[in-house]
Chain A
Amino acid sequence: MKNLKRVLGIGVVAVASCFVIAADHIDAPEVSGGNSDITDFYAFQAENEDNLVLVANIQGLISPANTAAASFSENVMVEFNIDTNQDNVEDLVIQAIPRDGKMYFFGPVAPSQTGLNSIIETTSTAGGSVAISSYGGAAVTASNGGMSFFAGPRDDPFFMDFARFTQILTPGDDDGDGEEETAFLPAGSASDTFAGTNVMSIVVEVPKSMIGGSGKINTWVESKRK
């Protein structure tokens, strides 16, 4: 255990303050806590097994008291990237951008250009729009061309005892019991640091036939600002 602590101590020094907030919440100085800060990305088979669901969450750790005032920025586009031929370059994108209380979706469509800079692919024949759901109201969803759309506040689906993780990685006694923390708390004592907090969610359900059909794809999500 002493060796482990020593190794962990070196880890703390080497990796320094990188253990900020988990999945991707507040992951980097440039985006931390802002309206382009991606907290999580999910991709899973839908209730209708012919479809895939893509979820992008942004703006983490929104308290219930602050959720009604949370909003999407009209200058920030969220882009789902889909690589269908295993070269890690996006062959298709689905873009989400808000205007006047609605979230507009363009794609799946081959992007005009790949990489760090994008234009909104307004000529895409696939896509749709949905009214952005308000806090306290029912979830507003919309469908078009086999796709379904949602945008608005949701419970943060991420869970982790991040507070304990931070204590483990911070040298010295952090919880006042006189000992350095060297392990996670047992079930029952461990707690979800993200319980009770919300995120701003963008959810798209898309037929698999529109994003490669079968086999494996590679996906990632980006936030881009005008």
Chain B
Amino acid sequence: MKNIKILTLALTVSLIAFNCSNDDDNNMSMEEPVLDFSGTYSQEDQMGRPAVNTVFNASADKDAFNVTTPTAQSAAFQSKFEANLLALSPAYADGGMNALGQDAAAFTGLLATDVLNVSLDGTTTFYDGEPANTLSGRALADDVITVELLLIFGGEDFTENPGLSNDNVSENDKTFLTSFPYLASPH
């Protein structure tokens, strides 16, 4: 009898232990852990067209620009962009325009809503010399800095301030891929 009681106790203990470990197994699950995507994510940086925040905003405005929605950017920043552009480039003085036919107000009015316009109907480029393709996307090989320098300094026909309107670096240091993921392998 004593042996049975001990055996029963032992069995009970082992059953409890088994149940515990079994429960643990259920809780832990053999499946992949459930991923936690909960919570609110708050904006820190944003970008549409290249170099807009870098070139056209003063230091004190850069953080604010990054957390202003595109719909609110023009009202908050266009006049500052225009003042900075006029201070930076002589090409817009006395009603001067860029090669897109824009004066300082029109050019900065375009840039101050910082979204990248993209065509879903064919060629996608920031600028390739073909007027119909202007601002239809941004391809990896697009020389966007020279285009922006030309629009800032180059005047109506891209001939003004030639020393400032081309940085003379016109391609990447690595060749892009023709297939996904398109960007070159790291150095």
Give A residues with C-beta under 8 Å from B.
3-4, 7-8, 10-11, 13-25, 27-31, 34, 36-38, 40-47, 49, 52-53, 55, 64, 67, 76-77, 83, 87-89, 97, 99-100, 104, 114-120, 122, 135, 139, 141, 148, 150, 153-155, 157-161, 164-165, 168, 182-192, 194-198, 201, 203, 205, 208, 211-226
Flag if B138 contacts A226 (CB, 8 Å): no
- In the complex the two chains form, what is the Cα distance from A217 to B124 in whole Å? 12
Could you tell me which residues of chain B, from 21 to 79, have a CB within 8 Å of some CB in chain A? 33, 35-48, 50-59, 62-63, 65-67, 69-71
B167 and A161 contacting across the interface, CB-CB below 8 Å: yes
Contact residues in B for A218 (Cβ distance below 8 Å) = 48, 70, 115-118
Asked if B84 CB lies within 8 Å of chain A CBs, one says: yes
Q: How far, in whole Å, are A99 and B66 apart by their CA atoms in the complex? A: 25
Cβ-defined contact, B41 with A14, below 8 A = no
A154 touching B45, Cβ below 8 Å: no
- Interface of B, secondary structure class, is loop
Closest CB in chain B relative to A152 CB, distance in Å: 8
Judge whether A29 and B63 touch: CB under 8 Å.
Answer: yes
Please, how many angstroms separate the alpha-carbon atoms of A91 and B173 in the complex? Answer: 36
In the bound assembly, the distance between CA atoms of A71 and B57 in angstroms comes to 29
| Number of interchain pairs (Cβ within 8 Å) | 312
Determine if A213 and B169 form an interchain contact, defined as CB atoms under 8 angstroms apart.
Answer: no
Instruction: Please tell me which one of the listed residues A36, A42, A188 contacts residue B138 in the complex, with CB atoms under 8 A apart.
Output: A42
**Minimum CB–CB distance for A155 against chain B, Å:** 4
Q: Across the interface, do A7 and B90 meet the contact criterion of CB distance under 8 Å?
A: yes
B128 to chain A, nearest CB (A): 12
Mark interface residues in B124-152 (1 if CB within 8 Å of A CB, else 0): 11000000000011111001110000000
23 A-B interface contacts by CB (under 8 A): A4-B90, A14-B84, A23-B51, A24-B51, A27-B66, A30-B66, A36-B44, A36-B45, A46-B180, A49-B122, A83-B70, A89-B71, A99-B35, A154-B185, A154-B186, A164-B167, A183-B162, A183-B163, A186-B168, A203-B180, A205-B180, A223-B46, A225-B41
